[in-house]
Amino acid sequence: MRGLEGRVALVTGAGGGIGQAICARFVEKGIRVVAADIDERSLRSLSQNTGSGERVYPVGLDITDFAAVQKTVADAVSRFGCVDILVNNAGWDIAKPFVETAPDFWDKVIAINLKGPFNLHRAVLPHMLQAGRGKIINIASDAGRVGSHGQAVYSACKGGIISFTKTIARECATRNIVVNAVCPGPTDTPLLHSFAADGEFGKKIFDRLQNAIPLKRLGQPADLPGIIAFLASDDANFITGQTISVSGGLTMHG
């Protein structure tokens, strides 16, 4: 893939399974990575697993805190001179029927999965606009395309991210900034396994998801970085406003 060597990427949720896989692939491609996560212990694991500390700059970050996001972006620009690539990967949810949820739960899901990416866009885009280039990849979810039992608010947020991605792609197209969404299907991460551990309701969802995948396996974190690195590369310069599922065929959109 062309045009990745020497670029600077900011990846949120960098300490999780998918986040670590993204960061590792970026490091392989010669990208310097600002690896942001609220769980600083997971960032220590990331640095050990990538084995390339000189290319990974870990930073503890609560993406729901706009001031903290602004500072992280400003520090990244000060250190590296730019942020060429933004990957909004951080996310959180607990599976439960909507009628068993309450506004405080909705607020937390919305703050992390919807407002968090808003914060990152608002902080990063001015620098990309000034530079006249940029790549943004938003990690949405197939739950945002077709809905997902037990994930009503999360699905609403991810559907919002898909629509937001298309709008920002339109707004920034003339400034050489391309914006796309990647939608993982059920992926073998601690978040998914937390559903199975959360009583009979979550276990039923977990089993139902596995059985519904045409390729008959859960996605693995390693299944995601290829498309993300491609969308961040110069080979994807003419691709913007698109939504791409990586779901083993769980959803097949034309």
Task: Give dist(CA 34, CA 197) in Å, integer.
Answer: 32
For residue 11, pLDDT beyond 60: yes
Ramachandran class of 216: left when φ > 0, alpha when ψ lies in -120 to 50, beta otherwise: left
The stretch 169-191 carries a mean pLDDT of 92
Q: What are the structure tokens assigned to 118, written together?
A: 């808003």
The stretch 50-77 carries a mean pLDDT of 91
Residue reference for tokens 């500072």: 71
Closest to 7 in 3D by CA, of 53, 55, 43: 55
Domains in the chain: boundaries:
8-246
The confidence score (pLDDT) of residue 131 equals 97
**Domain 8-246, what fold?**
Rossmann fold (3.40.50)
The confidence score (pLDDT) of residue 209 equals 74
User: Comparing 151 with 204, which gets the higher pLDDT?
Assistant: 151
Closest to 50 in 3D by CA, of 70, 26, 73, 72: 26
The stretch 140-151 carries a mean pLDDT of 92
pLDDT digits 0-9 by tens, 235-251: 999 999 999 999 998 88
Which positions ≥6 away from 106 have C-beta within 8 Å?
Answer: 153
The confidence score (pLDDT) of residue 46 equals 85
Task: Give dist(CA 186, CA 203) in Å, integer.
Answer: 13
Task: Give dist(CA 91, CA 26) in Å, integer.
Answer: 20
For residue 204, give Cα distances in angstroms to 98, 150, 191.
16, 10, 15
For residue 94, pLDDT beyond 70: yes
- pTM for this entry: 0.92
Average per-residue pLDDT in the chain?
92
Q: What are the structure tokens assigned to 186, written together?
A: 């059920």
Give the residue numbers marked as catalytic: 154
